[in-house]
Amino acid sequence: MASLTPISQTHSLFKKPIVAATPPPSNFTSNFIPKDFPFSGYQSFKPPRTRMATRSRVVSATTAEKPKKRYPGEAKGFVEEMRFVAMKLHTRDQAKEGEKEVKEPEEQSVRKWEPSVDGYLKFLVDSKLVYDTLEGIIDKAAFPSYAEFKSTGLERSASLAKDLQWFKEQGYAIPEPSSPGVTYSEYLKELSEKDPQAFICHFYNIYFAHSAGGRMIGKKVAEQILNSKELEFYKWDGDLSQLLQNVRDKLNKVAESWSREEKDHCLEETEKSFKHSGEILRLILS
Ligand code: HEM
Domains along the chain? 112-285 (1.20.910.10)
4 CB less than 6 Å from ligand 1? yes
Protein residue whose Cα sits closest to atom 14 of ligand 1 = 3
Protein residue whose Cα sits closest to atom 8 of ligand 1 = 213
Mean pLDDT, 10 residues at a time, the chain of 286 residues: 35 30 40 42 37 40 63 92 98 95 94 95 98 98 96 98 98 98 98 98 98 97 96 98 98 97 98 98 97
User: What pLDDT does residue 64 have?
Assistant: 60
User: What pLDDT does residue 10 have?
Assistant: 30
State the distance from the centre of ligand 1 to the C-alpha of 216, rounded, in angstroms: 10
212 CB less than 6 Å from ligand 1? yes
User: What pLDDT does residue 44 have?
Assistant: 37
CA distance 58 to 142: 32
Protein residue whose Cα sits closest to atom 30 of ligand 1 = 274
208 CB less than 6 Å from ligand 1? yes
Assign 3-class secondary structure to the chain.
Answer: CCCCCCCCCCCCCCCCCEEEECCCCCCCCCCCCCCCCCCCCCCCCCCHHHCCCCCEEEECCCCCCCCCCCCCCHHHCHHHHHHHHHHHCCECCCCCCCCECCCCHHHCCHHHCCCCHHHHHHHHHHHHHHHHHHHHHHHHCCCHHHHHHCCCCCCCHHHHHHHHHHHHHCCCCCCCCCHHHHHHHHHHHHHHHHCHHHHHHHHHHHHHHHHHHHHHHHHHHHHHHCCCCCCHHHCCCCCHHHHHHHHHHHHHHHHHCCCHHHHHHHHHCHHHHHHHHHHHHHHHHC
Protein residue whose Cα sits closest to atom 22 of ligand 1 = 213
State the distance from the centre of ligand 1 to the C-alpha of 81, rounded, in angstroms: 14
276 CB less than 6 Å from ligand 1? no
CA distance 122 to 15: 53
Q: Return the best residue to mutate from 94, 242, 269, 272 for the ligand 1 pocket (most ligand atoms within 8 A of CB).
A: 94
Beta bridge partners of 91: 100
Protein residue whose Cα sits closest to atom 20 of ligand 1 = 209
CA distance 244 to 152: 9
* Beta carbons of 55 and 67 less than 8 angstroms apart: no
83 CB less than 6 Å from ligand 1? yes
User: What pLDDT does residue 22 have?
Assistant: 38
277 CB less than 6 Å from ligand 1? yes
State the distance from the centre of ligand 1 to the C-alpha of 212, rounded, in angstroms: 5
Protein residue whose Cα sits closest to atom 16 of ligand 1 = 3
CA distance 81 to 204: 11
Of 219, 268, 281, whose CA–CA distance to 86 is shortest? 268
Q: Are strands 18-21 and 56-59 parallel, antiparallel or unpaired?
A: antiparallel
Neighbours of 15 (CB within 10 A): 7
**Side chain identity at residue 104, one-letter code:** E
CA distance 170 to 65: 68
User: What pLDDT does residue 70 have?
Assistant: 79
User: What pLDDT does residue 286 have?
Assistant: 94
Of 163, 180, 75, whose CA–CA distance to 124 is shortest? 163
pTM: 0.81
